Amino acid sequence: MAKSLIINRALLVFMINLLGLLVQPSSAQLRQNYYANICPNVESIVRNAVTAKLQQTTVTVPGTLRLFFHDCFVNGCDASVIVASTASNTAEKDNSINLSLAGDGFDTVIKAKAAVDAVEQCRNKVSCADILAMAARDVISLSGGPSYAVELGRLDGLSSTSASVDGKLPLPTFNLNQLTAIFAANGISQTDMIALSAAHTVGFSHCDKFSNRIYDFEGKAGSIDPSLNRTYATQLQIQCPRNVDPNIAVPLDPISPRVFDNQYYLNLQQRMGLLSSDQVLAEDTRSRPTVNNWATNSVAFNQAFVAAITNLGRVGVKTKPSEGNIRRDCAVLN
């Protein structure tokens, strides 16, 4: 009996470890300076294109960041979210949850791709997936956040369907268990999830994503979500009155909405997380210590964010010719 228990326990440990391996992000053949001998100036080319786009509109920052996240969580970081729908296929970008992705995010990648392909040595040599990863890094650093070396070598995905998006992305109503689970499904730890959530230090949200917190919370007439700062809630009601135009949006970070910093965590401490999936990080005792640490230590946050977005960039990458290719047009499958 004892021997049987030992064997069964060993088998259980083996299966748990195997499951962990199956969901780990795979860096596969990604590496820094991947294009050194293919398109040596690719990073400066992309950065110049992103800088030019940012000068046109600050939406470039959150738009590009959110595009990267939505891409990686659906069949991996393969630029499949950029593919346009056709008469015979509804692509990822037209799934209902992706309809709010800012057009400026897509345009950033399209413009950077054009700039890269304008160099003969680089033409059709750099994937849209890698351009998106570089652009995400650039919008972070250009808006005050950390800069970091990007691992490269991704191929572009061979398919993009709306159906593949269902259930793959976190919702603004998620609690900590739900957030942790959906990130874990992509091999991303809870600590990395808390770090990546700080992308909400830039950008905006439409009123309908949080109206349930400021009006008739949980069906009680006139009530407000008790985890929401009262003064902040009143400001939000002014910005988002009942029956407001659905196109109206407000900053996710009301203090420094155009700067990538650790203000996100300071806001959470003041119960000024716009979405309930933001505020829960400070309300739940399991995640609160991390929030408090990064609210007071911007260096530690920057380091954690770089580690987290590097792990995000490894999710489901395709590096074999059988898995992907380099798209000539980011919006059209080859």
Is 71 annotated in some ligand binding site?
Answer: yes
- Tens digit of pLDDT for each residue in 302-322? 999 999 999 999 999 999 999
Is 201 annotated in some ligand binding site?
Answer: yes
How many CB atoms are closer than 10 A to CB 186?
Answer: 21
* Residue tagged active-site, from 47, 70, 93, 213: 70
Residue from 63, 72, 70 nearest 151 by CA: 72
Is 92 annotated in some ligand binding site?
Answer: yes
**Would residue 206 show up in a list of annotated catalytic residues for this protein?**
no
- The predicted pLDDT at position 43 comes to 98
Q: What is the pTM of this model?
A: 0.90
How many CB atoms are closer than 10 A to CB 301?
Answer: 24
- Tens digit of pLDDT for each residue in 221-258? 999 999 999 999 999 999 999 999 988 999 999 999 99
Q: CB–CB of 318/324 below 8 Å?
A: yes
Mean pLDDT of the chain: 92
- The predicted pLDDT at position 9 comes to 47
Is 253 annotated in some ligand binding site?
Answer: yes
- The amino acid at residue 4 is S
- The predicted pLDDT at position 246 comes to 81
- The predicted pLDDT at position 29 comes to 82
**Residues of the chain with confidence (pLDDT) below 70:** 1-28
- Tens digit of pLDDT for each residue in 11-24? 444 443 444 444 44
**Rg, Å, the chain Cα set:** 21
